[in-house]
Structures are given as C-alpha cells and as structure tokens.
Chain A
C-alpha cells in the first residue's frame, strides 16, 4: 500500500516564477492538507481540500492556491515566488470521518528553493 507520495522531490526556482507541487494521497483517503515547513521551524498549515474544494485555509496569501482532482490527488500552486517561499512543502492525507480520530499521513515533502 503506497503511502502519501509527492513530486518533485526537489525544485529550484527564481523569484517571480510560478511553481506547481503535486501530491497523491494514501489509498482510501479523501482529504489532502498542505503544510509549509521553513528551515528550523514546525510545519505551518496552508490549506485543506475535501470533495475538490478548499475547506480550510491558514494564514497564507492568495499567491498560494490549490486544486483537488476527482481521484483525490492534489496540487499546490505558488505564484510570484519570493525568497521567503523557500521551504519543505508537506502534503498530508486522511479520511474525513466527521469528527472522530483519524490519522493524518504525511508525505516526504518537496524541497523548494527560490533563488
């Protein structure tokens, strides 16, 4: 059973460019969340997708957008990249069960470097 997978593993971009990161959730999961982890920090919640809609959003600007596809996979898009966007981007998936405990599984992350 494949866990959460993310692509690419590493990415280098320059300021002002746009980037798309991809995530495939664990088999059977329907909810995908994205987190940004800056060096030396804990992950910060960006947003969560369920039923192809953004359900919750953290304190991130509109330059950060996403999408969820009918097969539950997801993309994170970042426009007009800034140096401060350099971070490890983590995707997590879970099965939304309406409030009871359900474990979030994390992917290995995509390391984005903005020059």
Chain B
C-alpha cells in the first residue's frame, strides 16, 4: 500500500507564507491532492497536481512536486487566520479514487 507522511504542526503569523510538506512512497498515483479540514467538517479539496507536472499555481496556493524524491509541498501565500485548519495530502492508488491520506498538518495562523 501507499504511505503518506506529513509533519504534524505548523505555526505562522498572519501575512506570512506557509509551506506544508508531504512525502509519499507509492509513485503510481496519477494525481496528488491537498485537502483542508476545518473543525467538525468534512474534507474540502484545495488543489491537485497531475503527476507529470512539477508545479501548479492557483491563486494563493502553489503546489510543488518532486517525483524523484516523492515530495509534495503546498505553499499558501499571505496566510490568513481563516487558513487555520488541518491540511491533508493524498495520493490515489493504482485504481482511481482509492485515496491514501497523510495524518494531516495542523496549521495555526497567529494574528
């Protein structure tokens, strides 16, 4: 199966950039994903990247993918207090939509 690892916590000040990192073991994922989970809520898809891309930018979000090192990162520019949440990276197994999630990174944004 696939293992996905993330650091547990990240604390930044409002207005700074946040970088959340993820490493994965299975390179068969066609897409890699970042999800956001706020307290008491389900998962919200933030962005995704196709496995043959190195970078994807979507407004304040930038995803970097290093396939050689199996490393995925999410950069949030101009982080706001509303960005405080848990962020999960996920890959899909060989069969689409069987997602493997990391344990999540709790982002705390201080005003």
Contact = CB atoms under 8 A, between A and B. Distances in A.
Interface in A93-111: 94, 96, 99, 101-109
Contacts of B99: 33, 35, 43, 45, 92, 104
Contacts of B104: 40-42
A56 interface: yes
B97 A48 contact: yes
B98 A42 contact: no
B31 A101 contact: yes
Dominant SS among interface residues on chain A: loop
Contact of B103 (A33, A40, A45, A102): A40
A42 B102 contact: yes
A16 interface: no
B96 A99 contact: yes
Given A104-B45, A106-B42, A109-B42, A94 B97 contact: yes
A56 B95 contact: yes
Interface string B3-34: 01000000000000000000000000011000
Nearest to A94: B97
A42 B45 contact: no
B103 A42 contact: yes
B48 A42 contact: no
Contacts of A59: 1
A99 B29 CA distance: 11
B43 A56 contact: no
A33 B31 CA distance: 17
A31 interface: yes
Contacts of B43: 43, 90, 92, 106
A45 B100 contact: yes
Interface in A25-51: 31, 33, 35, 40-45, 48
Contact of A101 (B35, B48, B90): B48
A1 B30 CA distance: 29
A58 interface: yes
Interface of A: 4, 31, 33, 35, 40-45, 48, 55-56, 58-59, 90, 92, 94, 96, 99, 101-109
